[in-house]
């Protein structure tokens, strides 16, 4: 084993032991991914062999190894956290980092990825804006033997993606659905309860997983009449929110409220796939609704939403600790570059249209008023002041 490879492994092990991992077992990587990873490792391993001083093993190993990190937007809090966690953890492991945000503009993201390829990045980590729009630029990455890790969102219709690291997106939805079932005691309560649904961006492969996870649990109650969706908008296409935009979710909910709830009918449940859409729904309710406040779900534990949770304006949010996902991806980068087996725990769920992409799924948890302090403050994710 070259010193470079050993050092990358050491760096990886250090990072993994410092930061909580996602748990789960290693599984063999897909065949398609291996050649690019191995070639990259071989190319990078050779020159550093003479240079790496043993006592500075970890940083020297990664020195000269550049990782491109493409994030969708700075507008949403979580991507800022993802980006800065990735950057600091990669730098700590000794890598050079090219971190870019694309203002939710697909063309900007494509150009940024082109620049990363031309700028000598050895691995690309990409949280796509539109999962379907990166096929062409990733052909170039593949031709240059640059492995690609899809970060949080799967990149579709390309065989250039080596791995996928995310939170279990279906489980995000089931946790939201189960929260509603438990809170209202749906199996025993008489009902009926009214519900409106706000889902995510159709261009984001995750959005349907969230929706399906929740709806697989809630649909039986809709079918038996215990939950009534007064707007009649139930199908994903009807309830989706382009770009996950707060304003879009808000104006749609304003319409729903004025058409269906202005006569004093109570709205009992707002199933919202994430916090940016939940915020839109909460804004609409604040201005247009006087009934009993509904249960509102969310995802990400954004500061504005946790504050609303503390104020009783949002019931729960799914907590996806971006430090954990970043740690997992840094580990995968190290494994790819060293030609080691890459740790994955799902080789079935995420087919991107060209085949199943070997994935690592971290486990999401729900946060509400009862456990947010322990999850968010005690863990150092936020300070108490952040939430004031
Ligand atoms: C992420 C969510 C996020 C949403 C909007 C999804 O792909 O998984 O955590 O709320 O995008 O940015």
Query: In the numeric block, which tokens belong to residue 335?
Result: 């494994």
CB 232 within 8 Å of CB 257: no
Total domains present in the chain:
2
Same domain, 205 and 241: yes
Terminus-to-terminus CA distance in the chain, angstroms? Answer: 52
Q: Which domain holds residue 253?
A: 169-319
The atom of ligand 1 lying closest to the CA of 318 is 9
CB of 66 sitting under 6 A from ligand 1? no
Query: In the numeric block, which tokens belong to residue 278?
Result: 């939940």
Same domain, 12 and 148: yes
**For the segment 68-97, what is each residue's pLDDT rounded down to a tens digit?**
999 999 999 999 999 999 999 999 999 999
Query: How many CB atoms neighbour CB 67 within 10 A?
Result: 26
Same domain, 329 and 341: yes
For residue 373, being part of any structural domain is answered with no
Same domain, 279 and 296: yes
Taking alpha carbons only, the member of 39, 47, 88, 86 closest to residue 64 is: 47
Same domain, 243 and 257: yes
Same domain, 266 and 356: no
The atom of ligand 1 lying closest to the CA of 72 is 12
For residue 383, being part of any structural domain is answered with no
CB of 208 sitting under 6 A from ligand 1? no
What is the CATH number for 30? Answer: 3.40.50.2300
CB 247 within 8 Å of CB 276: no
For residue 370, being part of any structural domain is answered with no
Cα(230) to centroid of ligand 1, in Å?
Answer: 27
At 244, phi and psi to the nearest 5?
60, 30
The atom of ligand 1 lying closest to the CA of 166 is 8
For residue 353, being part of any structural domain is answered with yes
Q: Cα separation of 270 and 366, whole Å?
A: 16
CB of 340 sitting under 6 A from ligand 1? no
The atom of ligand 1 lying closest to the CA of 79 is 12
Angle at CA of residue 155, ends 149 and 156, nearest 5°? 140
Same domain, 110 and 31: yes
**For the segment 29-75, what is each residue's pLDDT rounded down to a tens digit?**
333 333 333 333 333 333 333 333 333 334 445 778 999 999 999 99
Query: How many CB atoms neighbour CB 261 within 10 A?
Result: 22
Same domain, 290 and 186: yes
CB of 128 sitting under 6 A from ligand 1? no
The owner of tokens 């995750």 is: 206
| Helical ranges in the chain per DSSP H | 3-18, 34-51, 57-62, 77-92, 106-118, 135-143, 169-184, 205-223, 236-239, 246-260, 275-288, 303-310, 322-338, 372
Sequence length of the chain is 388
Adjacency order of strands within the sheet including 359-362: 96-101, 66-71, 123-126, 148-151, 163-167, 359-362
Taking alpha carbons only, the member of 338, 343, 332, 327 closest to residue 7 is: 338
DSSP letters, 109-137, are: HHHHHHHHHHTT-SEEEE--SSTTS-HHH
Overall average pLDDT of the 336-364 stretch: 97
Test site for ligand 1: of 104, 167, 168, 204, most ligand atoms within 8 A of the Cβ: 204
Query: In the numeric block, which tokens belong to residue 12?
Result: 């990886």
Question: What global pTM score does this model have?
Answer: 0.85
pLDDT of residue 63: 73
Out of 319, 347, 375, a domain closes at 319
For residue 378, being part of any structural domain is answered with no
The atom of ligand 1 lying closest to the CA of 167 is 8
Same domain, 280 and 337: no
Cα(274) to centroid of ligand 1, in Å?
Answer: 7
Cα(130) to centroid of ligand 1, in Å?
Answer: 12
Given a cut of 50, is residue 175 above it in pLDDT?
yes
For residue 299, being part of any structural domain is answered with yes
Q: Cα separation of 63 and 48, whole Å?
A: 8
CB of 206 sitting under 6 A from ligand 1? yes
**For the segment 222-261, what is each residue's pLDDT rounded down to a tens digit?**
999 999 999 999 999 999 999 999 999 999 999 999 999 9
CB of 241 sitting under 6 A from ligand 1? no
**For the segment 300-335, what is each residue's pLDDT rounded down to a tens digit?**
999 999 999 999 999 999 999 999 999 999 999 999
Same domain, 106 and 132: yes
Taking alpha carbons only, the member of 197, 275, 268, 272 closest to residue 237 is: 197
Same domain, 310 and 195: yes
pLDDT of residue 325: 97
Q: Cα separation of 24 and 363, whole Å?
A: 10
In this structure, of 9-23, 186-200, 263-277, 311-325, the range with the lowest mean pLDDT score is 9-23
For residue 368, being part of any structural domain is answered with no
pLDDT of residue 36: 36
At 265, phi and psi to the nearest 5?
-60, 135
For residue 369, being part of any structural domain is answered with no
Burial grade of 88 (CB within 10 A; 0-12, 13-18, 19 or more): middle
CB of 300 sitting under 6 A from ligand 1? yes
pLDDT of residue 22: 55
CB of 274 sitting under 6 A from ligand 1? yes
Same domain, 216 and 336: no
């Amino acid at each position: 084993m070259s010193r470079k490879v050993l050092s990358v492994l050491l760096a990886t092990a250090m990072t993994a032991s410092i930061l909580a991992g996602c748990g789960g077992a290693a599984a063999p990587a897909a065949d398609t991914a291996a050649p690019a990873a191995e070639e990259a490792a071989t190319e990078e391993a050779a020159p550093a062999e003479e240079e790496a001083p043993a006592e500075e093993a970890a940083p020297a190993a990664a020195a000269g190894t550049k990782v491109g990190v493409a994030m969708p937007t700075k507008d949403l809090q979580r991507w800022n956290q993802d980006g800065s966690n990735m950057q600091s953890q990669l730098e700590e492991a000794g890598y050079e980092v090219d971190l870019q945000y694309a203002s939710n503009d697909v063309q900007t993201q494509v150009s940024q990825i082109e620049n990363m390829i031309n700028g000598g990045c050895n691995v690309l980590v990409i949280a796509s804006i539109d999962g379907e729009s990166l096929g062409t630029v990733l052909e170039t990455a593949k031709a240059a033997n640059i492995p690609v890790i899809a970060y949080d969102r799967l990149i579709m219709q390309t065989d250039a993606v080596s791995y996928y690291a995310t939170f279990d997106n279906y489980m995000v939805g089931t946790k939201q659905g189960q929260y509603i079932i438990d809170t209202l005691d749906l199996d025993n309560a008489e009902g009926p309860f009214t519900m409106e649904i706000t889902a995510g961006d159709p261009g984001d492969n995750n959005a349907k997983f969230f929706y399906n996870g929740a709806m697989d649990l809630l649909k039986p109650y809709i079918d038996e009449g215990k939950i009534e969706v007064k707007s009649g908008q139930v199908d994903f296409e009807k309830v989706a929110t382009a770009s996950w935009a707060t304003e879009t979710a808000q104006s749609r909910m304003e319409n729903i409220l004025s058409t269906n709830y202005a006569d004093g009918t109570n709205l009992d449940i707002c199933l919202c796939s994430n916090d940016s859409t939940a915020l839109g729904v909460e804004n609409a309710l604040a201005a247009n609704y006087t009934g009993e406040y509904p249960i509102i779900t969310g995802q990400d534990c954004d500061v504005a939403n946790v504050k609303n949770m503390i104020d009783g304006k949002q019931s729960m949010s799914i907590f996806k600790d971006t430090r954990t996902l970043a740690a997992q991806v840094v580990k995968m980068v190290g494994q790819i570059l060293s030609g080691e087996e890459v740790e994955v725990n799902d080789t079935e769920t995420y087919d991107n249209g060209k085949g199943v992409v070997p994935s690592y799924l971290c486990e999401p948890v729900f946060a509400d008023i009862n456990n947010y302090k322990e999850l968010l403050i005690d863990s150092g994710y936020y300070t108490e002041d952040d939430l004031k």
